[in-house]
Amino acid sequence: MTNDKAMPEPAEKETEALMAQFDRESNVRRFSGVPDYLVKGLLVFFTAYVFWVTLVAVIPEQVRRCAFLGILIFIGYIIYPLRKGMTKRENHVPWYDIVLGCLGAFSFFYFVVHFDAIINRAIMLKPLDIGVGVLGILILAELCRRVVGIPILVVAGGFITYAVVSQYSLKRIVHQLFYTTDGIIGTPIGVCSTFIVLFIFLASFLEKSGIASFFIDLANSVAGFASGGPAKVAVIASGLSGMYSGSSVANTVGSGSVTIPVMKKTGYKPEFAAAVEAAASTGGQIMPPIMGAAAFLMAELTAIPYPVIAVSAILPAVLYFTGIFLMIHFEAKKLGLKGLPRSSIPPFGKLFLAKGYLFLPIGVLVTFMTIGFTPAYAACLAISTAIVVSFFRKETRFTLKTFAEALANGAKNTIGVAMACAIAGIVVGIVSLTGLGQVLIAMLLSIASTNLLLALFLTMIACLILGMGIPTTANYVIMATITAPIVVRMGVPVMAAHMFVFYFGIMADITPPVALAAYAGSAIAKSNPIKTGVTATRLAITAFIIPYIFVFSPSMLFIETTPFQVIQIILTSCIGMFGLAIGIEGYMLRPLKIFERLPAVASGLLLIHPGWGTDIIGLGLVAFVVIFQIIEDRRSKP
């Protein structure tokens, strides 16, 4: 039996309404008939441009990036309304949005057409150049407000204000932000237009192939029958979806619309059910091989090959999901919850034989990146594989319609990421122009002095605050520009420093008071949003501990380790997650008393931290708790 019968989905309109409420990128105009074909035609044209410049064309980077943004801005103003609530009227695009879209496209294509002349003029811009640059920046900012939100514009505006107060001329600021690769068309949009966009297309094709429902069925067959099975299904399914999905909110709503109602029916409290889905879905962005958009930016900013970053992220991601899984298990044991009936669970072998081929595109992606292909070419091969394997079964077969929809959805999903990357480029450009980064580094070093722990704590707080209103991609770019160099200067390896800010930028999605993924889950579960966020933070506590550990012990990221050390780290860390889970949940075979919980939590922290000394003490503490639990459990039974 498939998950359709075991886990009935809510009405499609309700799911769309939730996405529009919590995910700004889903708040789009509705089209039908001829206008719908025209809009999808625009999106498919953009897709064709992306593949052409990636696989065939050889053009200057500035030209490629400007054309990328120019096309997206025009499409963005057609799709995204001025404000929420203006999407009810079908096939209606106000005249002012058409004008703004045309002016925005003109601004960026002006640079494309006059590229050689503007490059030769350098800082000596003409008044027309300055006017076009200002217009382009303002129109880009307005589209970003519609798609991403106001907070990121407040941050970018603050940096521009700093440049003005520092007495930089309008000409100098416009040149830096609009006409150089240190601003809007800088590294973030460069990575977006080459790597990130292709992985967004891959995710769209995988979604159309039915892989999401397959992952839920697969997770159901593995863990649905266990104690508290539906919650474990949510963790496994969201972890698998994280291999291609880059949005915490979209993942929460997509998977949660199926898993949260079943978790509630099983006996979990609404807050816990929503928190499980939010925490697991948020973890999708740290799950290799794709890890969301920010990981590609990390590869570009650190000059570390992307496959190396993906391998380094494996153990932290495994520990994250292991921690949530164990806490769910002991919560279920504490509440006496059962799993789903065996009759409602699809047999694993039969299911894998029937649909296991859907894993092939991800296998192709991993294989070709491992043997040295660029992420862009590996993504193209994975997309081709997704199309080929869809023909293996009639129900997953791509038709001309589903193929066009996959292309159009991929192009539409690119707009939000591109706007965030472009605005993040403003921050990078101002930091580069004014030398603000060095000022901030000096300030933080004067506060933290030689205290690395304090510097890390302040960086964590900054990441969480920024992440409350800024997408992960932009958050990472800003923090990697400003705070990561500080941590590196204090002796931390580059990989560990950048992974630190990457992790905490992601965790903002479930950290109150603004926890969008938790709020989306609470809307489905009809639970208290703040309580849901607090519970999600507790379940994801590993993500708040592990970044500190891999900064102080980079061997957790497999930096300068031997195979024996890798095995030791994996085993002891997993045992540590067991100790941490029973300590936080307060239950193993029976409720833990305070003198058991404290050693259990301590053992978890010690075992997660790589090292012989910490491992021996941690193993001793967890052994004490387990043995005491077994003895007391036997005593309590007649």
The pTM (predicted TM-score) of the whole model is 0.85
Supply the pLDDT for residue 1: 35
- 148-182 pLDDT, tens digit per residue, is 888 889 999 999 999 999 989 999 999 999 999 99
Q: Percent of the chain at pLDDT above 90?
A: 30
Dist CA 67 CA 416 (whole Å): 17
Residue 367: both structure tokens together: 């294989």
- Are 396 and 130 spatial neighbours (Cβ–Cβ below 8 Å)? no
Q: Which one of 6-15, 26-35, 135-144, 489-498 scores highest in mean pLDDT?
A: 135-144
Determine the Cα–Cα distance for residues 197 and 51; give it in Å rounded to an integer: 10
Sign of CA dihedral 559, 563, 568, 574: positive
pLDDT of residue 22: 60
Residue 2 pLDDT class (50, 70, 90 cuts):
very low
Amino acid letter, 452: L
Q: How far apart are CA 316 and CA 542, in angstroms?
A: 9
- Residue 635 vs residues 337, 462, 478, 599, 628: alpha-carbon distances, Å: 24, 50, 57, 22, 11
| pLDDT tens digit sequence for 85-111 | 676 778 889 999 999 999 999 999 999
pLDDT score at 600: 93
pLDDT score, position 87: 67
At residue 484, the pLDDT reads: 87
* CA dihedral sign, ordered 512, 518, 523, 525: negative
Tell me the per-residue pLDDT of 313-340, one tens digit each, with 9 for 90 and over: 888 888 888 888 888 888 888 888 877 7
Q: Average pLDDT of the chain?
A: 86
The domain segmentation of the chain, as residue ranges, is 3-154, 562-638
Assign 3-class secondary structure to 267-303: CCCHHHHHHHHHHHHHHHHHCCCCCCCHHHHHHHHHC
Residue 390: C-alpha distances to residues 96, 206, 386 (Å): 42, 9, 6
* Per-residue buried b or exposed e for 289-319, using 16+ beta carbons within 10 Å of the residue's own CB: bbbbbbbbbbbebbeeebbebbebbbbbbbb
Q: Which residue shows structure tokens 């074909």?
A: 37
d(CA 132, CA 143): 17
Residue 6 has pLDDT above 80, yes or no: no
| pLDDT tens, residue by residue, 246-288 | 677 777 887 788 788 888 888 888 998 899 888 888 887 888 8
What H or E segment, with its residue span, contains residue 116?
A: helix 115-121
Other Cβ atoms within 10 Å of 366 Cβ, number? 18
Q: Give the up-direction half-sphere exposure of residue 461: CA atoms within 13 A in the CB hemisphere.
A: 6
pLDDT tens digits, 577-631? 899 999 998 999 889 999 999 999 999 888 887 778 888 999 999 999 999 999 9
pLDDT band at 129 (very low <50, low <70, confident <90, very high): very high
For residues 101 and 82, what is the distance between their CA atoms, to the nearest angstrom?
A: 12
Give residue 160's pLDDT. 95
Question: From CA 255, how far away is CA 216, in angstroms rounded?
Answer: 8
Mean pLDDT value across residues 390-398: 83
Question: Which residue type sits at 620?
Answer: G
The residues facing 587 across adjacent strands are 591
pLDDT at 415 exceeding the cut of 80: yes
